[in-house]
Amino acid sequence: MINEIGNIFLSISATLSLCMFAVIFFKKSLATNIRFTFCKYFSISISILITLSFLILAYAFLTDDFSLRYVANNSNIDLENVYKFSAVWGAHEGSILLWVLVMSIWCSLIILLSKNMPKTIIIDMISVMGLLLLFFLVFILFSSNPFDRVFPVPLNGRDLNPLLQDPGLIIHPPMLYIGYVGTSVPFVFAISVLINGSIKLEWIAWLRKWVIASWMFLTIGISLGSWWAYHELGWGGWWFWDPVENASFMPWLAITALLHSLIVSEKRGIFINWSILLSILTFSLSLLGTFLVRSGILVSVHAFANDPERGLYILLFLTLIIGSSLTLYFLKSNILIFHKQYSVSSKEFALLLNNLFLTITTFAILLGTLYPLISSSLDLGKISVGAPYFNFIFSALMLPIVFLMSPAIYSSWKKTNYKSLTKKLVFVLFYSLILTYIILNIFFETDVFVVFLAMFLAIFTIFSSLLKIYQVSKTNKGMIIKKILNIPSSSFSNLFSHIGIGILIIGITISNYYSVQKEIIMQKNSEIIIKNISIKFVGVQNKLSKNYSSQVGIFDAYSDNNYFVSFFPEKRTYNIQKNIMTEAAIDSSLFRDIYVALGENVSEDSWVVRIYYKPYIQFLWYGVGLMILGGLFGIFGRRKIEKKLANAI
Amino acid sequence: MLYRLSFIPILIFIAILFFLYSGLNKDPTLIPSPLIGKPMPEFSSPTLFDDNEITNQDLIGEIYILNVWGSWCYACSLEHNHLIDIYSRGTIKIYGLNYKDDKNSAINWLKERGNPYKKNIFDNNGNTAINLGVYGAPETFLINEKGIIIHKYVGPIDENYYNDVILPIINNE
């Protein structure tokens, strides 16, 4: 009974979404305030209804209601409660439900936090959101309904995919979806602006906050995915250029470009046309990602859930939404062009280059991801594009982007004094080179050119960001603390996210080039030495858990004959699906991870064991942490502009 | 100038749509094996039910299906009834390649569900499968009477696949 209520709530939400979309057609006959109130109540009711049906589905999972096909396929009596809850978004139907839930909440937030924006713009944004919600809700109701019943009711469920039974996977999808769906905010903004035919710089300031928020959630989501892959897959890798990963990375690159072009649009009133196009592209890439992941046309050889019918629906939706918005852009974008002069040495130009390279990178990854499709439909044979292509193209294109960060930080709007720019740059370049040389020689004893280049870029970026913030604080008056407190938060946002990128690059480079890995057969009581650490294989014990049985390896690690830690890597066999999962054991410290994974049992006492020594891998997560901190400063610290916006109205 | 350029995104989008649409109806699991047209790699393994050696020479002489499976493999259990149907028609012999499996659980599995296989190669360390370029279970190969691999499919097969794809190939041979 309660499940039918969930279903009815979804139907009502779909109807309300249609009404919300219809508001756009009553521009002439209804007063703005009335239309705004309608939108407000529609969107809030939709959020409440979808939240309720989401909770009803969660309740069905927690109470093991296997009369729902979706629950029967993705849960099990013995599953831990946490995973029963996260199983709600563990497969197709539930993740689309999570998608609309997140979208309805974004939608309500827009209307609640739009005090200083003109109501006509907000109404059109919300109406377009209504159309998007309608599409997804219809999709759920007709082809992916999680409330579908199954008869006869199975006694027990088929269990959640064991790969997904991991803490990292509990919050990864929601974070990613918040980011994904967040890209719809600049999209509906772009549509609304194109329809209304006018734009004000204060509106861009308002939009930037939303864009930073969705950038931040995308960053969190993607990095949690990597973190999960690193812990769960047992290969010691964290990024595989898998189509599903690319699907989330392309919107991230596009929204990073958007973030930077919006700065120029807001401060100088140019690139507006481009920002609008980027907003459309970013959301298009999010939709495309959903299509790629959900239609199964690009999934790996082991996914047997190919569903052309669902794919066709999303493709039609894609055609309609993206096609019509690009056409709208084509027809109306010429009214948004503002011409202003800027020189090659200006900040505008540096950010133009940043956007150019980010866009090219996005398209290079898109090309690589779609290439198997392109080649097969042109009958060039089935080819899959592997990591070497992506690694090469990505690092080659990232090089100029990272290198440009420092000149962009030091240059000024319109035109920079060449003399002072060169002076600063030469100073930073020189010391960064020396610093890189010293660090590499002392700590890594290396002269690999690629490592040197990457480390130099990272140090160059970090050094110039720090120097910039010092210079900004120097112009403030008063005591040191006051000087720091008076630094505008946008500078902090810039500082942390750019330093984050630098730290990330250090982590990637060093862990890639100086990892030591050993895959060997170890006998009980034998020892192996990896980077001055000796690891002793004590034995294997059997362990029984609620829904899996596992073999737990016991390894003791000694440094200079002093015991310091034990590793307990597991090989789990899940009772229902009979999958074997590796749970690697990892000892992390600031400068290195030791990673032990248990392989196959060769004979009675000997096992295949994989041991990795990964230096600086932790820097990856620190770098991401700093980028997120930068995002937080960007969202919460923009009071000055808010005031300006309030005064403008 | 810029007005005309703003048409480019639409063009790119149409091109992408074309490829997405054409990809929609193609099966991503159809991966051509470089082994097609090549002889079945040599192997020598015990069979599942007794320890008699079986080699590739033993199989030459008539066309047969080689099905890679394991009792640990969920998709194989979905495929199994379809294999039994194909077996009961009697048009073609099916050999099994029991891949990375435990001997007892494999035997029990067949006792419980029925045995469509004429013989099973017991490949518990996966050596034969590696030579065949097996990604995972289930996979199905079609090998002609000269011992040449003529077809490969990744994923579970069913009657439709047998009728629409495998039968025409057998009839052509």
> Which residues have CB under 8 Å from A132's CB, separation 6+?
A103, A184, A188, A321
pLDDT averaged over chain A?
87
**The domain B29-172 is classified under which CATH number: 3.40.30.10, 3.30.70.2860, 3.40.50.300, 3.40.50.2000?**
3.40.30.10
Mean pLDDT of B5-15: 87
pLDDT digits (tens, 9 = 90+) for A222-237: 999 898 888 877 667 7
- Facing residues of B68 across strands? B97, B139
The alpha-carbon radius of gyration of chain A (Å, integer) is: 27
User: Could you tell me where the beta strands, DSSP code E, fall in A546-605?
Assistant: 548-559, 562-567, 570-574, 580-583, 585-589, 592-603
Please report residues of B whose CB lies closer than 8 A to that of A326: 9-10, 13
| A373 to B19: CB separation less than 8 angstroms, yes or no | yes
Chains A, B: CB contacts under 8 A, how many?
A: 96
Q: Give me the helices (H) in chain B, please.
A: 2-5, 8-24, 56-59, 74-89, 103-113, 127-131, 159-161, 167-172
For chain A, say whether B171 makes contact (Cβ under 8 Å).
Answer: no
pLDDT of A343 > 90? The answer is no
Mean pLDDT of A171-179: 91
| B31 to A301: CB separation less than 8 angstroms, yes or no | yes
Q: If pLDDT is split at 50, 70 and 90, which confidence band does A163 have?
A: confident
For chain A, say whether B1 makes contact (Cβ under 8 Å).
Answer: no
Q: If pLDDT is split at 50, 70 and 90, which confidence band does A33 have?
A: very high
Please report residues of B whose CB lies closer than 8 A to that of A319: 17
Of B2, B7, B13, which to mutate for an interface test with A (greatest number of A Cβ within 10 Å)?
A: B13
Contact A74, A86 (CB under 8 A): no
pLDDT digits (tens, 9 = 90+) for A489-513: 888 899 999 999 999 999 999 988 8
**Which among A297, A326, A330 has the least Cβ separation from residue B23?**
A297
Q: Which residue of A has its CA nearest to B9?
A: A326
The string of DSSP letters for A349-403 reads: HHHHHHHHHHHHHHHHHHHHHHHHHHHHHTTS------HHHHHHHHHHHHHHHHH
d(CA B63, CA A92): 41
Please report residues of B whose CB lies closer than 8 A to that of A580: 72
Q: If pLDDT is split at 50, 70 and 90, which confidence band does A301 have?
A: very low
For chain B, say whether A244 makes contact (Cβ under 8 Å).
Answer: no
| A315 to B19: CB separation less than 8 angstroms, yes or no | no
Mean pLDDT of B98-112: 83
For chain B, say whether A537 makes contact (Cβ under 8 Å).
Answer: no
Q: Tell me, what's the pLDDT at A417?
A: 81
pLDDT of B27 > 80? The answer is no
Q: Tell me, what's the pLDDT at B31?
A: 53
Q: Tell me, what's the pLDDT at A558?
A: 92
The alpha-carbon radius of gyration of chain B (Å, integer) is: 20
Q: If pLDDT is split at 50, 70 and 90, which confidence band does B21 have?
A: confident
Q: Tell me, what's the pLDDT at A556?
A: 93
Q: Which of A413-422, A549-558, A618-627 shows the lowest mean pLDDT across its residues?
A: A413-422
pLDDT of B33 > 70? The answer is no
Long-range CB pairs of A481-490 (<8 Å, 24+ gap) are A488/A637, A488/A640, A489/A633, A489/A634, A489/A636, A489/A637, A489/A638, A490/A633, A490/A634, A490/A637, A490/A638
For chain B, say whether A313 makes contact (Cβ under 8 Å).
Answer: no
Q: Tell me, what's the pLDDT at A296?
A: 61
Q: If pLDDT is split at 50, 70 and 90, which confidence band does A162 have?
A: confident
* Chain centroid, CA B136 distance in Å: 9
**Which among B18, B24, B156 has the least Cβ separation from residue A311?**
B24
| A373 to B32: CB separation less than 8 angstroms, yes or no | no
| Domain segments of chain B as ranges | 29-172
Q: Which residue of B has its CA nearest to A274?
A: B6
**Which among B10, B75, B136 has the least Cβ separation from residue A326?**
B10
pLDDT digits (tens, 9 = 90+) for A387-418: 778 888 998 999 999 999 988 888 888 887 88
**CA–CA min distance B5, chain A (Å):** 9
**Which among B10, B23, B155 has the least Cβ separation from residue A327?**
B10
Mean pLDDT of B109-127: 84
**CA–CA min distance B61, chain A (Å):** 32
Q: Tell me, what's the pLDDT at A335?
A: 73
For chain B, say whether A579 makes contact (Cβ under 8 Å).
Answer: yes
> Which residues have CB under 8 Å from B15's CB, separation 6+?
none
Q: If pLDDT is split at 50, 70 and 90, which confidence band does A204 have?
A: very high
pLDDT of A3 > 80? The answer is yes
Q: Tell me, what's the pLDDT at A298?
A: 58
Contact residues, A window 319-358, toward B, CB-based 8 Å cutoff: 319, 322-323, 326-327, 329-330, 333-334, 337
pLDDT of A305 > 50? The answer is no
Q: Tell me, what's the pLDDT at B34?
A: 65
* Chain centroid, CA A462 distance in Å: 23
pLDDT digits (tens, 9 = 90+) for A58-99: 999 999 999 998 998 889 888 889 999 999 998 888 989 999
For chain B, say whether A608 makes contact (Cβ under 8 Å).
Answer: no
| A315 to B75: CB separation less than 8 angstroms, yes or no | no
pLDDT digits (tens, 9 = 90+) for A572-594: 888 776 667 788 899 998 889 99
| A370 to B156: CB separation less than 8 angstroms, yes or no | no
Please report residues of A whose CB lies closer than 8 A to that of B2: 273, 333-334, 337
Please report residues of A whose CB lies closer than 8 A to that of B9: 277, 280-281, 326, 329-330
pLDDT of A462 > 80? The answer is yes
Of A194, A315, A330, which to mutate for an interface test with B (greatest number of B Cβ within 10 Å)?
A: A330
**Can you tell me the ipTM of this complex?**
0.81
Q: Tell me, what's the pLDDT at A300?
A: 40
Q: What is the arrangement of strands in the sheet containing A606-615, beginning at the earlier edge strand?
A: A516-523, A606-615, A592-603, A585-589
For chain A, say whether B169 makes contact (Cβ under 8 Å).
Answer: no
| B28 to A381: CB separation less than 8 angstroms, yes or no | no
pLDDT of A385 > 80? The answer is no
Q: Tell me, what's the pLDDT at B62?
A: 85
Q: Which residue of A has its CA nearest to B10?
A: A326
Please report residues of A whose CB lies closer than 8 A to that of B33: none
Q: Which residue of B has its CA nearest to A295?
A: B24
Q: Cα dihedral sign for A430, A435, A436, A437?
A: positive
Mean pLDDT of A518-543: 89
Residue B75 token pair:
């998709």
